[in-house]
Amino acid sequence: MNSPRVLVTGAGRGIGRAIALRFAREGAEVVLTARTLPQIEAVAAEIAAAGGRALAVPMDVTDLASVEEAMHRALAFTSGTLDVLVNNAGAFTIVPFAEMSPATWYRLVAVNLNGPFHVTLLALKGLERSARGHVINVSSLAGKMPFPGSLAYCTTKYGLRGFSDALRLELASKGIRVSTIYPGATDTSIFDGVPGPWDRASMNRPEDVAEVVWQAFDAPPETDVADLDVPPPTQLA
């Protein structure tokens, strides 16, 4: 089987970086996208130093023109075919509803919902050329259960679940799988500026999420990989 050709959004740090490195270890050609070019360039250099092949492409998932330009470069790098799209870029905030500004709401909708729509829409032709096309959407346990102070985040992650479920039905006839991954709290820089008594030592690591993403893609065709939780650290020890 040829090396998988993969595009990961939000690939400069945290979960996205871990996913990119996990696929690269399997020999994948990886397109790394994010708004911050130096971060994804550093990950691309890390992959290259280990003997892999990667391309860093700046992309703002909220901007359709930015996504279109990045996807053109990505598909040129992968010879027009994309085996895996990982929609990982996301925004997170904790703020009571009564204190939420419209700007905060609009930002989370733009990143967490419009972003996967933009990227998946423009990646579709590349996925259709693959014999094993797979869209993997990184959601959150907040896409299954509500948490106080996270109304905008929960709403968009619930929405991403619906996006995945409907997309799965539409793409089934094309042989393209769609998976939704539901990590719990994961120790990334997203928590650096978030108030609250977070016990980051008890959280999952980005590599835990990356392993579930890899296993979803690597699973046999008959395996149900529609909705996958990330085991808590106590089950991974």
Quote the DSSP letter at residue 180.
E
What's the Cα-to-Cα distance from 52 to each of 26, 47, 166, rounded to whole Å?
A: 9, 5, 35
pLDDT digits (tens, 9 = 90+) for 220-229: 999 999 999 9
Strand partners for 33: 9, 57
pLDDT at residue 237, as a whole number: 47
Domains in the chain, CATH or no CATH each: 5-236 (3.40.50.720)
Query: Which of 106, 153, 158, 182 is flagged as catalytic?
Result: 153
- Six-digit token pair at 174? 């094309």
Please confirm, yes or no, whether 182 is among the known catalytic residues: no
pLDDT at 194 over 70: no
- Six-digit token pair at 85? 């799209």
pLDDT digits (tens, 9 = 90+) for 3-33: 999 999 999 999 999 999 999 999 999 999 9
Give every CB contact of residue 5 below 8 A, 6+ residues apart in sequence: 28, 29, 31, 78, 79, 81, 82, 83, 84, 126, 130
115: nearest Cα among 86, 83, 150, 76: 86
Give the mean model confidence (pLDDT) for residues 40-57. 97
